[in-house]
Amino acid sequence: MMNIFSVLYCEIRKVCRSKVFWLVFLVFALAPIMMGIGTISSSGPNESSWQMYLSQLLNSLSGLGLIGYTFSAAWVFGREYTDNTIQDLLVKPVSRGNIVMSKMLVILTWDILLSIYMFAIALSIGGFMGLTGWSSALIMNIFIRFFITSLLFIIVSTPGAFLANVSKGYLAPIGLILIIVIFSSVLASMGFASYFPWTIPSVFLGSGFLSFSSILILISTGIAGIAGTFVWWRFAEQQ
Amino acid sequence: MHVFSKEKHSETAAIQIKGLHKTFGDYKALNNLSLEVKRGEIYGFLGLNGAGKTTTIKTLLGMLKPTAGELYMLDEKVHAGNYKLWNKVGYLEEATFYPDLTTIENLDIARRMQKVSDKESINQVINKLGLEPYKNKKAKHLSLGNKQRLGLAKAIIHNPEILILDEPINGLDPAGVAEIRNMLYDLAKNNDVTIFISSHLLEELSKVATRIGIIHNGCLIKEIEMDNLEQSLQKSLVIDGHDTNAIKTVLKDHSYEFEETKDGPLKLSDNRAVESPEQLAELLVTSNQPPTLLRVITEDLEGYFLRTIGKVRGNQ
């Protein structure tokens, strides 16, 4: 057990001491600020309520989160290849499963922090712009739905980790997720949002409900990403 | 009992590779490679780029699966799942590190990943490799030589029984090469560490290795003890004179075999000429063809290596 904590400590340190980690937070602060101000400015004088603001803004932010979550998953694994530290990592008396597990936990923590951070920035902008209709119950309600949506997006970002390992870098998964985001809006407009893994979380954000088939697709995608990564580390050749 | 177990250890090979084959699609990277490295030995693994050195090392480290054959280190079979083995093995390919972490932080990660509980091991290895002035410097800002030292520090922080180094002296200046060489020698001699070191430079390997294996096209084509290397180097006698054609006639008349060099002098490689150059000198003088040049030359290491793998200098 101490073994995994030690590996986890190393992974946390590697991420926190990198510039990329802090740069992500900087970039994901700018987006809610600009989108938040834009949302408020474009709404009419009677529409400037917390309810209207958050429901409009969080829809865009949760989608943006998908790019962030995929980036973190891809970077945590992919940087080992681009820095050429992967071979170092494989010749250690630590099971490869523990290394993957530690990396997954670090990614999960990073993503959760990023999601809460984006929500906090959105709240700050709303408060700064003097929105009306504040209610703690309302905010909590909206936050919980946003948070669950973020978790669902985190689940479907795991194939990004797998792809980073297969492609030995973080560029391929980032490229793919950008294509997926574009593809998602097309699929959603065609009415397939409940069946495409990367649009299902948005369905939940809008309705607060998911069908059994959507849940199954979501879980299968997450399991495929996680299991694929574990299997890759255990069995793939590292040329 | 301790002495007994040490004696027993020294009998078994630290590294055993048996009938190793590795193919990538149709390409045969390794072809029935077998070798053994004894404990405390510094084994130089020599080959041209693409000869199969790195493939052998990666297979030895469980990163590649052998197509056929078996590998053992310290009597344990090597495979990706046998991760506990890496407790006793240190590995350095090129200087790899986390660029935003300092020297100490990089070493602390290596210490934790190697399950070394004693934090003092970091200071010990820093002192050993002269990294003290750079310990708080970010790894990406270190000089090439210091990056390489950091890589080596990471590889030996857990006092491994086997140290595997893939082209470790690439990019080092002569002082850095000498330093690494002395350290490897010290590890093998005083700490009984078995060292497996690959390079494409025989000159460098010859200064540190106790035995050398030459790999070419995926096959181990020769192994040689360094003590015997001098005897294996080809010697030849080079002669020149005012009238080369007349000298050639004298040589032919007395059954000396020779070859003409590009520069003009004649080169004789048969033992009779090399071992008794004074007899040939006397012969040429009595034949009224006194030599203007008569010198025994010993093949250099590069020449030996190229001759062994069947290549001639200058890509001929």
Any idea where the domains of chain B sit in the sequence? 2-229, 235-298
**Pairing status of strand B211-216 against strand B219-225:** antiparallel
pLDDT of residue A46: 65
pLDDT of residue A161: 96
pLDDT of residue A101: 95
- B89 neighbors B141 (Cβ within 8 angstroms): no
> What residues of A are in contact with residue B62 (Cβ under 8 Å)?
90-91
Containing H/E element for A20? helix A19-42
pLDDT of residue A26: 94
> What residues of A are in contact with residue B94 (Cβ under 8 Å)?
84
The neighbouring-strand residues paired with B68 are: B21
CA neighbor of A164 nearest in space, from A77, A86, A89: A77
Q: What tokens appear for B13 in the block?
A: 């090979």
Lowest mean per-residue pLDDT among A17-31, B35-49, B100-114, B177-191: B177-191
What does pLDDT average to over chain B?
87
Superfamily covering domain B2-229: P-loop containing nucleotide triphosphate hydrolases (3.40.50.300)
Lowest mean per-residue pLDDT among A207-211, B63-67, B148-152, B311-315: B311-315
Distance, CA of A130 to CA of A52 (rounded, Å): 13
Phi-psi region of A168 (alpha: psi -120 to 50; beta: other; left: phi over 0): left
**Once rounded to an integer, what is the mean pLDDT over residues A16-21?**
93
How far does the CA of residue A170 sit from the closest CA of chain B (Å)? 16
**Once rounded to an integer, what is the mean pLDDT over residues B26-48?**
93
DSSP code of residue B138: B
pLDDT of residue A164: 97
| Residue B288: Cβ within 10 Å count | 9
Distance, CA of B12 to CA of B105 (rounded, Å): 37
Residue burial B156-189, b: 16+ Cβ < 10 Å; e: rest: bbbebbbbbbbbbbbebeeebbebbbebbbebbe
Phi-psi region of B300 (alpha: psi -120 to 50; beta: other; left: phi over 0): beta
The neighbouring-strand residues paired with B138 are: B102
CB contact under 8 A, B115 and A88: no
If DSSP codes are grouped into helix, strand and coil, which group holds residue A204?
A: helix
Structure-model confidence comparison of residues B75 and B183, the more confident one: B75
**Once rounded to an integer, what is the mean pLDDT over residues A214-218?**
96
The per-residue pLDDT for range A153-169, each reduced to its tens digit, is: 999 999 999 999 999 99
CB contact under 8 A, A93 and B85: yes
Distance, CA of B186 to CA of B142 (rounded, Å): 25
**Once rounded to an integer, what is the mean pLDDT over residues A199-208?**
91
Confidence of residue B120 (pLDDT cuts 50, 70, 90): very high
Domains B2-229 and B235-298 are alike in CATH topology: no
Confidence of residue A145 (pLDDT cuts 50, 70, 90): very high
pLDDT of residue B7: 41
CB contact under 8 A, A87 and B93: yes
pLDDT of residue A225: 96
Confidence of residue A47 (pLDDT cuts 50, 70, 90): low
Of A9, A83, A92, the CB nearest to B96: A83
> What residues of A are in contact with residue B61 (Cβ under 8 Å)?
87, 90-91
Q: Kindly tell me if the per-residue pLDDT of A1 is higher than 60.
A: no
Q: Kindly tell me if the per-residue pLDDT of B91 is higher than 50.
A: yes
**Once rounded to an integer, what is the mean pLDDT over residues B136-147?**
91
> What residues of B are in contact with residue A237 (Cβ under 8 Å)?
63-65
Q: Kindly tell me if the per-residue pLDDT of A62 is higher than 50.
A: yes
Structure-model confidence comparison of residues B311 and B230, the more confident one: B230
**Once rounded to an integer, what is the mean pLDDT over residues A105-113?**
97
**Pairing status of strand B259-260 against strand B266-268:** antiparallel
| Residue B99: Cβ within 10 Å count | 18
Q: Residue ranges of the alpha helices (H) in chain B? A: 2-11, 53-60, 103-113, 120-128, 144-156, 174-191, 202-208, 226-232, 244-253, 271-275, 277-286, 301-308
Concatenating the DSSP letter of every residue in B19-41 gives EEEEEETTEEEEEEEEEEEETT-
Nearest CA in chain B to A10: B109
What is B235-298's CATH number?
A: 3.30.70
Q: Kindly tell me if the per-residue pLDDT of B8 is higher than 70.
A: no
Nearest CA in chain B to A238: B63
Confidence of residue B4 (pLDDT cuts 50, 70, 90): very low
> What residues of A are in contact with residue B58 (Cβ under 8 Å)?
87, 238-239
CB contact B97 to A (< 8 Å): yes
Percent of chain B surpassing pLDDT 70: 94
pLDDT of residue B3: 38
CA neighbor of A232 nearest in space, from A152, A159, A156, A151: A159
Residues 72-91 of B with CB under 8 A from A: 80-81, 83-87, 89, 91
Distance, CA of A153 to CA of A115 (rounded, Å): 10
pLDDT of residue B1: 37
